[in-house]
Amino acid sequence: MSDLNKVMIEKYRTSFLREVEANVEEGEWVKMCMQCGVCAGSCPLGKHWDHPPQEIFMMIRAGKRDEVLTSDSMWMCTSCYNCIARCPRGLPITHIMHGLAVYSKRLGLAPQKQPTAEFSQIFWDNLMKKGRVNELKLGLSLYFKDGFGQGVKNAMANQKLGQNMMKAKRMNPMEFFGGHGVKDTSGLQKMIKKAQEIEDAKVQGKG
């Protein structure tokens, strides 16, 4: 168990809801859910969630900390914003789901090898190198995330797609050797480092 997880269990022993309100993006909205289920019925990937948002909200209030934070459900969010558009109480559900996913990852509780959790990190790391995404390397990192053998298999399975994209000049093979980026890479990286420090301090109650 991660140290931060232990600290949080100790600190919020009596209320998981309070823990979510204090540490999860837009978490203070959770208590406003009235359990109508419109979000559950509106989600395009609804059938793939173990617990739709409405259930997650009630589980948070019921103190089901482990079940919520180890769930794969939040990672099903495609950011379509259908739930936000339709929620009669105006809860920013998309952001709460993103916030719960990130918080569970920070505590080391997110499911291992969850593909969207992995892809999201690959995307962010790629972006952090130069301030703009290198799409060729993004694709390759995703294919090769589980090692070389699986990577070659994935790349072969998507070979025609890659060739199509290059033929249509929508992907540039030269991106492999560099690719575009911002000029002020160091400024951008310092800015992000500072932002991460502020956010870490907030979650650890030092902010």
Structure tokens at 64: 């089901």
CA 38 to centroid of chain Cα atoms? 23
Nearer to other proteins, 35 or 121 (CB): 121
Minimum CB distance to other proteins, residue 28 (Å): 11
**Residue that has been written with the tokens 């794969």 in this structure:** 72
Nearer to other proteins, 35 or 164 (CB): 164
Categorise residue 103: left if φ over 0, alpha if ψ from -120 to 50, beta otherwise.
alpha
> Is 65 a residue that touches other proteins (CB under 8 A)?
no
Three-state SS at 88: coil
Rounded-to-integer distance, Cα 178 and Cα 149, Å: 25
Ranges of H-type helices in the chain: 3-11, 16-23, 38-42, 53-61, 65-69, 82-86, 93-106, 115-130, 135-143, 148-157, 159-167, 185-203
CA distances from 77 to 70, 72, 104, 205 (A): 15, 10, 15, 28
> Is 153 a residue that touches other proteins (CB under 8 A)?
no
Number of residues engaging other proteins in binding (CB under 8 A) = 60
Q: Which region, judged by CB under 8 A, interacts with other proteins, from 6-14, 30-38, 59-67, 74-82?
A: 74-82
Q: Which region, judged by CB under 8 A, interacts with other proteins, from 2-10, 29-37, 43-51, 62-70?
A: 43-51
Q: Which region, judged by CB under 8 A, interacts with other proteins, from 7-15, 50-58, 61-69, 95-103?
A: 95-103
Rounded-to-integer distance, Cα 27 and Cα 33, Å: 11
> Is 146 a residue that touches other proteins (CB under 8 A)?
no
> Is 82 a residue that touches other proteins (CB under 8 A)?
yes
Minimum CB distance to other proteins, residue 62 (Å): 25
Q: Which region, judged by CB under 8 A, interacts with other proteins, from 2-10, 13-21, 56-64, 129-137?
A: 129-137
Binding site for other proteins (CB under 8 A): 25, 44-45, 48, 75-76, 78-82, 84-86, 94, 98-99, 101-102, 105-106, 115-125, 127, 131-133, 139, 142, 160-161, 164-165, 167-170, 182-184, 187-188, 190-196, 198-199
